[in-house]
Amino acid sequence: MTATSSDFFNNKRFCVTGGAGFLGQVVVRKLKERGAGEIFIPTIEKYDLTEIHSIKQMVDDAKPDVIIHLAAQVGGIGANREHPGEFFYNNLMMGVQLMHEAWKRSVEKFIAIGTICAYPKFTPVPFREEDLWNGYPEETNAPYGLAKKMLLVQAQSYRQQYGYNAVFLLPVNLYGPGDNFNPASSHVIPALIRKCVQAVDEGRQEIEVWGDGSPTREFLYVEDAAEGILLATEKYNDSEPVNLGSGFEISIKDLVELIAGHTGYQGTFKWDTSKPNGQPRRCLDTSRAKKFFGFEAQMTFDEGLKRTIDWYQENKGRIK
């Protein structure tokens, strides 16, 4: 998908929280490709976005017309289980206070990034935005999912009471070059890639994998995710939440075998069924994104996976 510049991007100041991160770097690059000249990227070293005084300082320094709020404390099932309080508090404080401050200072538009973890544990597949409130999220990542979901409540209530233009997007699990490969906090794709590559490098013939392999997941390539976010930034101005996904569903068992094939791992897998599976199925209905702002994912999963593995192979020496 080729980016084109427009007056929307040329004439506005953007603040991208999390702009130095995995998704943020791609969003910032695509903003520049669209002609955005003024992009403010707050760093965690200078601004603690869980603290209101730090949020106020950041907005003072950025003077934004548009805030794209990507910053979040995220991780896989293990990280969510170990830090549920942090995941709830930090994500809630970052988002709710920042949106409130943006409204108070008349920032023109606020793009809030939610999470697939906001959906109920047993959501009919494909997940439709209308089903968001039909049950409690999967337990292992409910604190994170609910903290993010509050931004939808805030966006809708601020639009209703104040006419504030805040929108809420729900991306599925992201992957791609530059992903987080730290075993303590990574999601399933980078975690499996790292395990397979290390096993090949070390000549090991067995890898341990959490769960039983039965859950399904949908994944969105980081370039596609950034494209969807910027299409919504430019074209979407409504209160309804919008899914961002690829429409492709794969079981963890099939994912493991696919990654093994692409990395050259020929050993066996030991499924640790004492560990949680997480949500049984995840696959999104993406028709609303196509209807409202013309977004459709472009990257095939197989090609995206190859590019991610290639990136890790090239950079693994620098990754802790």
Which positions ≥6 away from 208 have C-beta within 8 Å? 195, 269, 270, 272
Report the candidate in 73, 67, 133 with the shortest Cα–Cα distance to residue 100: 67
Q: Which of 144, 164, 175, 221 is catalytic?
A: 144
Note the Cα 245 to chain centre separation in Å.
Answer: 10
Which positions ≥6 away from 261 have C-beta within 8 Å? none
Report the candidate in 44, 278, 238 with the shortest Cα–Cα distance to residue 142: 278
Per-position DSSP letters for the chain, written without gaps between them = ------HHHHT-EEEEETTTSHHHHHHHHHHHHTT--EEE---TTT--TTSHHHHHHHHHHH--SEEEE-------HHHHHH-HHHHHHHHHHHHHHHHHHHHHTT-SEEEEE--GGGSBTTPPSSB-GGGTTSSPBPGGGHHHHHHHHHHHHHHHHHHHHH---EEEEEE-EEE-TT----TTT--HHHHHHHHHHHHHHHT--EEEEES-S--EEEEEEHHHHHHHHHHHHHH---SS-EEE--S-EEEHHHHHHHHHHHHT--SEEEEETTS---SS---B--HHHHHHH-----S-HHHHHHHHHHHHHHHGGG--
Catalytic residue flag (residue 144): yes
Report the candidate in 47, 35, 164 with the shortest Cα–Cα distance to residue 111: 164
- Which of the residues are catalytic? 144
